[in-house]
Copies of this chain bind each other. A is one copy, B any other.
């Protein structure tokens, strides 16, 4: 039996912690905003003091907002409270280099590390079917992986940092595919086709994807309730730019789509819209008002 301390019980973290507790793990939650600890479901314990929350845990799962949040939290941990911890699992989306730095910092306390960001959003977090992209050593993955089963499907994708890289690749494909679907939808609308019928006709074929079906429908309906926000998509795209620069790569579609999301974000009202709102930028570029 593992004693897990779960850091960060936001929209993703809370259902994940809950699924772990329901699977039989002893889970103590900590959150930067302690108010969220007040109404925890009965299966979850809460502790508003960071070092006390971690004392006695063998596994820490971190699901904070980003890499700098995790870095700040790690820097506050005492050697004493870390003494029981065997494994740190970073499940938040951070930069690959931040994951490597965290692992190196924690190694001084003989703590093993996996970077394991997730994809699938709050629905998959609740249903326990997240895609979990794991970076780390094979033997650590093997002895730790059953922890992931109540959360979703873990796949080891390479050394520490590559879990994060896989998450960025995921977001890269999503952002560009939204752009592709936006151009297809506009072409079809302007040419007088029934766009809903076309999505149906294309289902199951080479052009089909969840982006075509779900985000395409949002574009047709001009309904940009999130889903995934422009703000998050833009954060991910900026992180991809940083990584591409570090790796000395020219990725032309990513450069262009990042610029277009930045243009969209010039109007701050767009930040909280669904990322399919890139369609709005395409309409503006074509001087189309609806």
A: residues with CB less than 8 A from B are 96, 119-120, 131-133, 135, 153, 155-159, 161-162, 165-166, 168-174, 176-177, 179-181, 183-188, 190-194, 197-198, 200-212, 228, 240, 243-244, 247, 249-254, 256-257, 260, 282, 285-286
27 contacts between A and B (CB under 8 A): A119-B202, A131-B204, A131-B205, A155-B200, A157-B193, A158-B194, A159-B192, A162-B192, A162-B193, A162-B194, A162-B198, A165-B191, A170-B202, A170-B206, A171-B207, A173-B177, A173-B207, A173-B212, A176-B253, A187-B243, A187-B244, A187-B249, A190-B249, A208-B209, A251-B282, A252-B282, A253-B256
CB–CB A253/B179 < 8 A: yes
CB–CB A161/B209 < 8 A: no
CB distance from A214 to the nearest CB of B (A): 8
CB–CB A198/B159 < 8 A: no
A158-B193, A162-B193 given; A251·B186 CB < 8 A: yes
Contacting residues, chain B, for A203 (C-beta < 8 A): 131
CB–CB A188/B165 < 8 A: yes
CB distance from A180 to the nearest CB of B (A): 4
Q: Contacting A169 at CB < 8 Å: which of B171, B187, B204? A: B187
**Which residue of chain B lies nearest to A203 when distances are taken between CB atoms in the complex?**
B131
**Which residue of chain B lies nearest to A168 when distances are taken between CB atoms in the complex?**
B187
CB–CB A252/B187 < 8 A: no
Taken together as a complex, chains A and B put the C-alpha atoms of A190 and B249 apart, in Å, by 8
Taken together as a complex, chains A and B put the C-alpha atoms of A187 and B194 apart, in Å, by 37
A173-B212, A286-B250 given; A132·B201 CB < 8 A: yes
* New A-B contacts (19) at CB < 8 Å, excluding given A173-B212, A190-B247: A119-B206, A133-B201, A133-B202, A153-B201, A159-B192, A162-B192, A165-B188, A169-B198, A173-B177, A173-B207, A176-B183, A179-B253, A180-B253, A183-B251, A183-B254, A249-B286, A250-B285, A252-B282, A253-B256
Taken together as a complex, chains A and B put the C-alpha atoms of A212 and B172 apart, in Å, by 12
